[in-house]
Amino acid sequence: MNKELKQLAVNFIAMPLAIAVFKHDQQYFDGFHDPDFYLDFTDEAIRLIGIDLAATKKQLYSRYHFIFYKTTHLTSLE
């Protein structure tokens, strides 16, 4: 695996996790002195990461011919 493909794979995995962390953290900003500042900051970070994620997916598809499928969460059989 070349260096570029490896970095794209890391970005493809890490960016959705970063978005999830920012969204999770937003619920705890209500108790802050100025929650709008933090909410605006995290909204902008989520938007920018989303743009980068879209560019990563586009490059993985156009250059390496990766096809992405949306999957559902697996549940326990218990």
Going from the first residue of the chain to its last (78 residues), give the mean pLDDT of each consecutive group of 10, the final group possibly shorter.
91 95 89 86 96 95 85 60
Coil, strand or helix: which one is 66? coil
- Helix 3-26, helix 35-64: angle, nearest 10: 150
Q: Which residues of 41-68 are buried (b: 16+ CB within 10 A; e: fewer)?
A: ebeeebeebeeebeebbebbeeeeeeee
The predicted structure's pLDDT at residue 74 = 58
The predicted structure's pLDDT at residue 61 = 92
